[in-house]
Structure 1
Amino acid sequence: MSVQAEEEQVAPAARVAGAQGVAPAAGLTSAPDAAIDQALGKLDSTQLRDEYVDQGSFLYLSDFLPRDATQRLIDAANALMPEVNRNFIPGHKAGGSVSRHTIDRLQPYIAELYRSPKLIAWLEKITGDRLQLSPEDDPHAYALYYYTRAGDHIGWHYDTSYYDGRRYTVLLGVIDESSCILDYELHTRDDSKPDEPGAVQYPPGALVLFDGDKLRHRVTPSREGEVRVSLTFEYVTNPNMRPWRRFISNMKDAIAYFGFRQVFRKALQSARVGGGKAGGSV
């Protein structure tokens, strides 16, 4: 299959002030842990853990983040529109992405939310696993995904873990002025249960949690004039990655998501500092 990658900015006209009734921000001050406290106060985690297990490591909550935290994510997504790297893989995906490296530099609130100890503790309770942050050189650790043109989509896939352990995906709805649907299939890796199809159109503030190697999923194409932005967090049970898997993962991320400059930025920086010899992991 031929691969074509576009690296271009999204037109400023694609910016939107809010989504689905969430008003523009004004002096928001909520810290990430306070926002998570508010989110968890209305949840029965024991019941949600059972639901997660019954669905084969999948959970959907239509209303998770509080209003002010959601608005901060909307504001961040709008501010990062000029930083979007667009990619096109014929027959599989089209859309834009902003990696954790750019987020760290320009919108650190997202990184703070990702690292929230209270969020991680709750995710551990639901998954039953001890979770760790993705390594600092992983551009997917937290990233924004933009559908801003007609036909933007991603085909059926798994969030395959190239790490030695499991990798869990958290999707957070940010902006959804679109007709896009997250289609998924449960139990595809469990021979004792039939595949179970499902679909959600997760709004701003919604949460989706799943084991990346177990959930087969896709996002249906957007239409002309629509805007959809989602945020992903990735947590791992073992941050080690074998060299050949690292190479495959880096190439996939460079071609299909963030561009070579973002993915290999640490190696390039090391090469400049070391006089042309790259050192350490990329």
Structure 2
Amino acid sequence: MTDQAMRTSAPDVTPQSAATRVASTPDASSPDNQVARETAALNNATLREDFVRQGAFLYLDKFLAPEATAQLIRLARELQPHINRNYLPGHKQGGSVSRHTIDEHAPFIAELYRSKALIGWLEKMTGDALQVCPPSDPHAYALYYYTREGDHIGWHYDTSYYDGRRYTVLLGVIDESSCRLDYELHTRDAERADEPGTVQIAPGGLVLFDGDKLRHRVTPARANEFRVSLTFEYVTDPGMRPWLRLISHMKDAVAYFGFRQVFRRLLSGGKNRA
């Protein structure tokens, strides 16, 4: 399994004046340009092969640009007062901040989620045309906090209620913990043996997977540990049957973001960015 991005040599370029360089990259610090710069240096053909071989799973220990990672770390700490704590006996406990709160307080994350460079790279890896999730989906992008002893999530699949496939991007933000992402590949492929694995996602690292195929968990945090991850969800078809949408919203309200965060947005017409 490839645990590290394979980077190519930088291509030869014709020297430019400082004025020309500034004019051609007016917003080099934007999330989209940061992603474009980082993904251009990856051996994407090999990474695509790894993704397919591993049954729609890929781990890179380095993905985000250092400045993007630093920005996410700052925002994750600033958003701590907005954490919704959740507890499901025998399955999970921890804290979450939904895309609705992120839209209000951390637009950088929303901009990164919609990065054309990021979505384009994900399409190369998955082989699918991808779309962002609808405005009513609080999971479209969300922060997950493991800040108390015992915070964890048990073995599960990221079941999608959408008409098409849904891919999860898991980005490391803060990791001052012993928590690990344990996973099992090929569990729903009768022709291949299960393949267990485990990773500890460093800040700026990335995991990409099809949640309906990957069985995974996050191991419990110990006392005085602190871990934050950021998830992005992308779909091949944003359609969803009404009764499945209700199930999805109920799950989000109970297990992640709270009824006020989920249903207040629905009743107000989902007034957040598309």
Common fold: TM-score over 0.5: yes
Secondary structure in structure 2 of the residue aligned to 1:264: helix
Name the CA distance, whole Å, in 2 between partners of 1:58 and 1:216. Answer: 11
Quote the residue 2:37 is aligned against: 38
Return the offset for 1:33.
1.1
Secondary structure in structure 2 of the residue aligned to 1:231: strand
Quote the residue 1:260 is aligned against: 259
Tell me the amino acid that sits aligned with residue 50 of structure 1.
E
Return the offset for 1:262.
1.1
Quote the residue 1:123 is aligned against: 122
Q: Is 1:183–2:185 an aligned residue pair?
A: no
Tell me if the contact between 2:33 and 2:117 (Cα under 8 Å) persists in the aligned partners: no
Q: Is 1:108–2:107 an aligned residue pair?
A: yes
Q: CA RMSD in A?
A: 1.3
Secondary structure in structure 2 of the residue aligned to 1:171: strand
Name the CA distance, whole Å, in 1 between partners of 2:100 and 2:111. Answer: 13
Secondary structure in structure 2 of the residue aligned to 1:202: coil
Q: Is 1:72–2:40 an aligned residue pair?
A: no
Name the CA distance, whole Å, in 2 between partners of 1:80 and 1:48. Answer: 33
Quote the residue 1:227 is aligned against: 226
Tell me the amino acid that sits aligned with residue 248 of structure 2.
S
Name the CA distance, whole Å, in 2 between partners of 1:157 and 1:267. Answer: 27
Tell me if the contact between 2:179 and 2:219 (Cα under 8 Å) persists in the aligned partners: yes
Tell me the amino acid that sits aligned with residue 202 of structure 1.
I
Tell me the amino acid that sits aligned with residue 216 of structure 1.
R
Tell me the amino acid that sits aligned with residue 238 of structure 1.
D
Name the CA distance, whole Å, in 1 between partners of 2:264 and 2:129. Answer: 29
Quote the residue 1:17 is aligned against: none
Name the CA distance, whole Å, in 1 between partners of 2:141 and 2:166. Answer: 13
Tell me if the contact between 2:94 and 2:146 (Cα under 8 Å) persists in the aligned partners: yes
Quote the residue 1:140 is aligned against: 139
Cα shift readout 1:103-130 (whole Å, capped 9, x = no counterpart): 0000000000000001000100000001
Give the alignment's TM-score, normalised by structure 2: 0.87
Return the offset for 1:143.
0.1
Tell me the amino acid that sits aligned with residue 64 of structure 1.
F
Matched residue pairs, number? 244
Q: Is 1:49–2:20 an aligned residue pair?
A: no
Cα shift readout 1:131-169 (whole Å, capped 9, x = no counterpart): 000000000000000000000000000111100000000
Q: Is 1:99–2:92 an aligned residue pair?
A: no
Name the CA distance, whole Å, in 2 between partners of 1:47 and 1:267. Answer: 42
Give the alignment's TM-score, normalised by structure 1: 0.85
Tell me the amino acid that sits aligned with residue 80 of structure 2.
M
Cα shift readout 1:77-128 (whole Å, capped 9, x = no counterpart): 0010000000000000000000000000000000000000010001000000
Name the CA distance, whole Å, in 1 between partners of 2:114 and 2:121. Answer: 12
Name the CA distance, whole Å, in 1 between partners of 2:64 and 2:265. Answer: 33
Name the CA distance, whole Å, in 1 between partners of 2:135 and 2:267. Answer: 15
Secondary structure in structure 1 of the residue aligned to 2:111: helix
Tell me if the contact between 2:183 and 2:217 (Cα under 8 Å) persists in the aligned partners: yes
Return the offset for 1:265.
2.1
Tell me if the contact between 2:178 and 2:222 (Cα under 8 Å) persists in the aligned partners: yes
Name the CA distance, whole Å, in 1 between partners of 2:84 and 2:64. Answer: 27
Quote the residue 1:168 is aligned against: 167
Name the CA distance, whole Å, in 2 between partners of 1:253 and 1:267. Answer: 12
Quote the residue 1:244 is aligned against: 243
Name the CA distance, whole Å, in 2 between partners of 1:150 and 1:90. Answer: 14
Name the CA distance, whole Å, in 2 between partners of 1:125 and 1:152. Answer: 34
Return the offset for 1:41.
2.7
Quote the residue 1:15 is aligned against: none
Q: Is 1:208–2:207 an aligned residue pair?
A: yes
Tell me the amino acid that sits aligned with residue 266 of structure 1.
R
Quote the residue 2:57 is aligned against: 58
Name the CA distance, whole Å, in 2 between partners of 1:266 and 1:40. Answer: 35
Q: Identity percentage over the alignment?
A: 69
Name the CA distance, whole Å, in 2 between partners of 1:267 and 1:132. Answer: 21
Return the offset for 1:268.
2.5
Secondary structure in structure 2 of the residue aligned to 1:254: helix
Name the CA distance, whole Å, in 1 between partners of 2:89 and 2:81. Answer: 24
Name the CA distance, whole Å, in 1 between partners of 2:216 and 2:159. Answer: 12
- Please identify runs of 4+ aligned residues in structure 1 that moved more than 3 A: none
Return the offset for 1:179.
0.1
